[in-house]
């Protein structure tokens, strides 16, 4: 992990030791609990102390998002930030501020808010979406609504929202004023000058605060590898219109269900071409519902049909907006493709539009889904073969450079990207004249300590765990369980049951062997018989009463592992069970 650049502090301006303990030297500690070296699971702690090592005075938290499990985290639904560090400091936390309504910024609230019990703030749509998330878990917390003209005060902090363009309306960056200086919290953004909702990024506000002097810019960096500027969202609409005109059957449109601007464009095209719209899939229905109520989505209700009414319409009169752009197994599009959707099936003449790129790791699943739809006769359009079906909500290299140019911060800290993207962002900043010691590349849990003399230094590293959510369990699946799942996934399991007479401590019958995911047992009697013999032989060597079953079990497992590897070149998980009777 990159902890820091080689030079961690600005040597030239480093204060003499006596200055460090100067009574007027305040400290702001910035602690990423997520979103560093990692695109998702955003959560940042701003912690103010009146002196280094002194007592914490106030804490402000930005975002509270979920992360996606990596492929090796078998069976895990999602990952949330580890808030162990905050547990004994709850009374210092003044607020959680949400930058926008995407899952990787708000969706850990239902897991964390009941524990932290602090007020939460966001712009209108963001607050509404966060409340929907909480309601899904039966939580009734109120999220406070703020708008971009307000300045919120939390103890020594003040927070001003800056409207930015992204792939969801009401997205913001934050101007956070602290006793040591101004932080520009530049979470997800791009500079789209023709946004679908007409609301441009408030560059004037950014420029104004920049003239006061920004101590540190935290900036989105996930698309730094793409040159130029990210294309405007608006180009999608023409492509859609063109495809729709060529379509004689149903028109099926999928995108990420939080991409409200994209859904608005799809609706615009449907309405202009007089097609009835159906929304299929829980998250689309939920998001459309809440955004429509708040007027972030606009369309005449008369165009909407319910899924059970679809059969009344000709295919060429329909425009379906469906979940499943990442080929999620139970999403509407996956069920349509495999023929299990109750109301919709694919026929030749239908067109399916993927208006989203596969998330890394989902490429194969998405390509498999495209194949399935193609095989059923649909024309499938996706961005590998057609331009302008998807643009990112994140800024490309030039957008990111423009933000640096606008904010002109003393220090720069890339967030929301992988290590290689952070590093590349650093290279770009250097090309813009920044020095190594102005570019901060912490790892997750690394504390950055800013002082009021304008210095920054690396504090301690807070040990962060992956808090994994699996079904109803939060954090109960740890590394041991995951390791067992990995072994069983690749090699299966073998269970050996040894019956033992309690009074004599002697083995009373032949051991039993059961396996799952290892070999097809019915066709492997020779192997299983061989394995039984290995176990029996290990036990035969024991004379008299066995006291140390722990030791004997280890021995059985060891011998069996050796035998099975020799025979199959597989290493299943082996458990031996001694049953005393």
Q: Which residues are catalytic?
A: 220, 394
- The distance of closest approach from Cβ of residue 473 to a copy of itself in the complex, given in angstroms and rounded to an integer, is 6
- The distance of closest approach from Cβ of residue 226 to a copy of itself in the complex, given in angstroms and rounded to an integer, is 9
How far out from the chain centre does Cα 544 lie?
58
> By CB under 8 A, what part of segment 480-539 binds a copy of itself?
480-482, 484-486, 488-493, 495, 497, 499, 501, 508-509, 512, 514, 516-520, 523-524
What's the rounded Cα separation, in Å, for the pair 161 and 205?
10
What's the rounded Cα separation, in Å, for the pair 182 and 214?
5
Using CB under 8 A, which of 8, 374, 452, 461 touches a copy of itself? 374
- The distance of closest approach from Cβ of residue 542 to a copy of itself in the complex, given in angstroms and rounded to an integer, is 18
Using CB under 8 A, which of 158, 418, 461, 506 touches a copy of itself? 418
What's the rounded Cα separation, in Å, for the pair 358 and 111?
27
Cα angle 115, 119, 123; round to 5: 125
Site size toward a copy of itself (CB under 8 A) is: 71
C-alpha distances (whole Å) from 23 to each of 50, 52, 56, 112, 452 are 8, 10, 15, 35, 11
Q: Are strands 446-451 and 456-461 parallel, antiparallel or unpaired?
A: antiparallel
Residue 57 or 345: which CB sits closer to a copy of itself? 345
Residue 19 or 490: which CB sits closer to a copy of itself? 490
Please choose, from the candidates 86, 118, 123, the residue with its C-alpha nearest in 3D space to the C-alpha of residue 101: 123
- The distance of closest approach from Cβ of residue 566 to a copy of itself in the complex, given in angstroms and rounded to an integer, is 9
Residue 450 or 518: which CB sits closer to a copy of itself? 518
What's the rounded Cα separation, in Å, for the pair 395 and 221?
8
Residue 294 or 481: which CB sits closer to a copy of itself? 481
> By CB under 8 A, what part of segment 342-371 binds a copy of itself?
360-361, 363-365, 367-368, 370-371
Using CB under 8 A, which of 7, 21, 24, 75 touches a copy of itself? 75
Residue 211 or 550: which CB sits closer to a copy of itself? 550
- The distance of closest approach from Cβ of residue 193 to a copy of itself in the complex, given in angstroms and rounded to an integer, is 26
Contact between 462 and a copy of itself (CB under 8 A)?
A: no
- The distance of closest approach from Cβ of residue 355 to a copy of itself in the complex, given in angstroms and rounded to an integer, is 17
Contact between 37 and a copy of itself (CB under 8 A)?
A: yes
Contact between 570 and a copy of itself (CB under 8 A)?
A: yes
Contact between 568 and a copy of itself (CB under 8 A)?
A: yes
Contact between 339 and a copy of itself (CB under 8 A)?
A: no
Phi, psi at 170, each rounded to 5°: 65, 25
CB 50 within 8 A of CB 23: no
- The distance of closest approach from Cβ of residue 518 to a copy of itself in the complex, given in angstroms and rounded to an integer, is 7
- DSSP H helical ranges for 349-438: 363-375, 397-407, 419-431
Neighbours of 196 (CB within 10 A): 21
Whose structure tokens read 């929301």?
416
What's the rounded Cα separation, in Å, for the pair 422 and 412?
11
> By CB under 8 A, what part of segment 16-35 binds a copy of itself?
none
Please choose, from the candidates 516, 510, 527, 535, the residue with its C-alpha nearest in 3D space to the C-alpha of residue 565: 527
CB 261 within 8 A of CB 168: yes
Contact between 561 and a copy of itself (CB under 8 A)?
A: no
Altogether, the residues listed in the chain come to a count of: 581
Contact between 474 and a copy of itself (CB under 8 A)?
A: no
Using CB under 8 A, which of 115, 147, 289, 580 touches a copy of itself? 580
> By CB under 8 A, what part of segment 100-139 binds a copy of itself?
none
> By CB under 8 A, what part of segment 177-236 binds a copy of itself?
225
What's the rounded Cα separation, in Å, for the pair 249 and 270?
13
Contact between 424 and a copy of itself (CB under 8 A)?
A: yes
Contact between 375 and a copy of itself (CB under 8 A)?
A: yes
Backbone conformation region of residue 545, classed left if phi is above 0, alpha if psi is from -120 to 50, else beta: beta
> By CB under 8 A, what part of segment 291-330 binds a copy of itself?
none
Sketch the per residue contact string, 376 through 415, with a copy of itself: x for CB under 8 A, - otherwise: ----x---xx------------------------------
Rounded to 10 degrees, the C-alpha dihedral 305/306/307/309 comes to -70
Using CB under 8 A, which of 11, 18, 71, 431 touches a copy of itself? 71
Tally the C-alpha atoms within 13 A of residue 168's C-alpha that lie toward its C-beta.
29
């Amino acid at each position: 992990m990159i902890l820091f650049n080689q030079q961690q502090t600005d040597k030239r301006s480093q204060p003499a030791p006596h200055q460090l303990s100067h009574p007027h030297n305040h400290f702001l500690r910035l602690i990423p609990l997520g979103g560093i070296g990692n695109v998702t699971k955003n959560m940042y702690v701003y912690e103010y102390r009146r002196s280094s090592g002194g007592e914490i005075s106030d804490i402000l938290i930005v975002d509270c998002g979920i992360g996606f499990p990596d492929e090796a985290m078998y069976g895990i639904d999602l990952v949330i930030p580890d808030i162990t560090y905050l547990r004994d400091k709850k009374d210092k936390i003044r607020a959680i501020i949400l930058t926008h309504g995407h899952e990787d910024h708000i969706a850990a609230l239902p897991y964390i808010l009941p524990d932290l019990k602090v007020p939460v703030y966001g712009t209108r749509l963001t607050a509404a979406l966060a409340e929907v998330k909480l309601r899904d878990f039966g939580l009734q917390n109120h999220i406070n609504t703020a708008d971009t003209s307000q300045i919120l005060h939390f103890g020594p902090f003040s927070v001003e929202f800056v409207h930015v363009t992204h792939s969801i309306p009401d997205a913001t960056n934050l101007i956070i004023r602290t006793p040591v200086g101004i932080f520009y919290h530049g979470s997800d953004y791009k500079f789209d000058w023709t946004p679908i909702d007409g609301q441009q990024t408030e560059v004037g506000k950014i420029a104004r605060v920049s003239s006061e002097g920004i101590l540190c810019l935290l900036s989105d960096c996930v698309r730094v590898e793409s040159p130029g500027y990210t294309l405007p969202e608006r180009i999608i609409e023409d492509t859609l219109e063109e495809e729709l005109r060529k379509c004689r059957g149903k028109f099926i449109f999928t995108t990420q269900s939080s991409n409200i601007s994209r859904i608005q464009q799809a609706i615009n095209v449907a309405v202009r071409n007089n097609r009835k719209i159906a929304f299929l899939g829980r998250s689309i229905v939920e998001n459309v519902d809440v955004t429509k109520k708040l007027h972030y989505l606009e369309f005449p209700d008369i165009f909407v049909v319910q899924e059970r009414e679809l059969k009344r319409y000709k295919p060429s009169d329909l425009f379906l907006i469906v979940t499943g752009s990442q080929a999620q197994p139970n999403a509407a599009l996956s069920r349509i493709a495999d023929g299990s959707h109750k109301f919709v099936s694919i026929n030749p003449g239908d067109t399916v539009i993927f208006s989203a790129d596969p998330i890394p790791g989902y490429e194969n699943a998405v390509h498999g889904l495209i194949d399935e739809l193609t095989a059923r006769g649909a024309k499938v359009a996706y961005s590998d073969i057609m331009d302008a079906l998807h643009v990112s909500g994140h800024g490309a290299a030039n957008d990111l450079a423009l933000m640096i140019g606008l904010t002109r911060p003393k220090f720069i800290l890339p967030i929301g990207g992988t290590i290689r993207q952070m590093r590349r962002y650093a290279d770009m900043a250097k090309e813009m004249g920044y020095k190594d010691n102005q570019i901060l590349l912490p790892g997750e849990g690394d504390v950055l300590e800013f002082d009021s003399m304008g210095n920054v230094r690396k504090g301690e590293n807070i040990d962060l765990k992956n808090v994994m959510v699996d079904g109803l369990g939060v954090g109960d699946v740890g590394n041991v369980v995951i390791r067992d799942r990995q072994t069983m996934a690749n090699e299966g399991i073998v269970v050996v049951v040894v019956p033992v007479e309690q009074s004599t401590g002697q083995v009373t019958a032949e051991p039993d062997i059961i396996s799952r995911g290892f070999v097809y047992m019915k066709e492997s009697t020779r192997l299983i018989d061989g394995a039984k013999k290995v176990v029996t032989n290990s036990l035969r060597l024991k004379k008299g009463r066995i006291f140390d079953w722990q030791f004997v079990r280890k021995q059985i497992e060891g011998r069996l592992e050796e035998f099975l590897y020799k025979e199959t070149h597989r290493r299943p998980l082996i458990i031996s069970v001694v049953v005393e009777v």
